[in-house]
Amino acid sequence: MNENRFNGLITFTAVVEAGSFTAAAEKVHLTRSAVAKSIAALESRLKVRLFNRTTRTLVLTDEGARYYEHCKKLINELRDVESELHDGQMAVEGRIRISAPVLFGRHCIAPVLRKLVNRHSGLKVEAEFSDRVVDIVAEGYDLAVRIGTIADSSSLVARKIGSQRMAIFASPNYLAAKGTPVDLNDLKQHTAILYGRNMQEITWRIIDHHGKTQTISMQGQELYDDLQVVADSAIDDGGLAWLPRWLGLPYVNSGKLKLVMDSDQVESLNIYAVWPHTKYLPLRTRVLIDKLLEQVPLQLGE
């Protein structure tokens, strides 16, 4: 929208409230002639008469009254926003819809959402914790948290909010029977419990002894779209499991799993906040993104 569309609004409302061009001119610090020219230009652009004029009276037309009502509302809202910004009291309110992977959502995202809701009484959060990749725009989400590679999209914006360290785990019984792999070649001789989305296996990214990342597809009879089920199967001697460290280490501490390869040998996964591309991002979404940037690394602390 051309900025010229807003020219004359303040002058117009001043004339309505002052009742004359002369009184309005004093209010907005212009000459009477400048005020009259501003109103004439506004009427010319709108192609309607805003005032019925006589030598002694100035009365709004029906169109002028309707236009004044909307102009006054717009100006008041702008003043309110400026005042709130100046005072640092901009309200975080309204509904925000967010999607995040199940376990990561419970572990890292839910605590951030609860803190925001407790702090901002006007905020309403609707969160879906699911490992399916939602269509953010088509399904009406304000933001999604995604882990791993992000596809290029002109309709979406992505910002890295953290890094999830990965590792490989297995049960003591499995390792006693099959041996403990120490390098890339050893891994390929083992059975894996596979994780995938839409039943498409996620490949493992392993750092070799040269420091280069190698992508490998493991062999296994089990493919799940839930990392907790992968962990449960590993505990039940099913094979090697590729898991986030925050998920696997508590089982190491309890003796149910052993750490086979740590994050110095297993490549970490980037975590992104993704939202629809828009010129103006709502304040509630901006605040949530800022909190995720601040809190997610803390939630991942080990």
Q: Say yes or no: 142 and 282 in one domain.
A: yes
Please tell me the predicted confidence (pLDDT) of residue 208.
86
Closest to 256 in 3D by CA, of 189, 166, 175: 175
Q: Do both 173 and 253 map to the same domain?
A: yes
Mean of the pLDDT values across residues 86-97? 73
Do β-strands 200-201 and 204-207 pair in parallel, antiparallel, or remain unpaired?
A: unpaired
pLDDT digits (tens, 9 = 90+) for 217-268: 899 999 998 899 999 999 999 999 999 999 999 999 999 999 999 989 999 9
* Domain enclosing residue 60, as ranges: 3-87
| Rg (the chain; Cα; Å) | 30
Residue 73 has a pLDDT of 84
What does the alpha-carbon distance between residue 241 and residue 232 come to, in Å, rounded to a whole number?
Answer: 10
pTM of the predicted protein model: 0.67
Residue 39 reports pLDDT greater than 80: yes
* Residue 77 shares a structural domain with residue 211: no
Could you tell me the CATH number of the domain that includes residue 133?
3.40.190.10
Q: Point out the domain boundary residue: 59, 87, 115.
A: 87
pLDDT digits (tens, 9 = 90+) for 44-78: 999 999 999 887 788 999 999 999 988 988 887 78
The verdict on 291 and 145 lying in the same domain is yes
What's the pLDDT score for residue 199?
A: 67
pLDDT bin (cut points 50, 70, 90) of residue 1 is: very low
Q: Which pLDDT score is estimated for 190?
A: 95
Least Cα distance to 92 among 294, 296, 288 occurs for 288
Whether 249 and 196 map to the same domain: the answer is yes
**Considering the chain, what percentage of its residues have pLDDT values greater than 70?**
93
* Beta carbons of 58 and 25 less than 8 angstroms apart: no
- Does residue 208 share a domain with residue 77? no
- Whether residues 148 and 279 fall in one domain: yes
Number of other residues whose CB lies within 10 A of the CB of residue 189 = 10
Q: Do 280 and 147 fall into the same domain?
A: yes
Q: Are residues 38 and 180 in the same domain?
A: no
Number of domains making up the chain: 3
Query: What is the chain's mean pLDDT, rounded?
Result: 89
Instruction: Name the more confident of 260 and 150.
Output: 260
Question: Is residue 87 pLDDT above 60, yes or no?
Answer: no
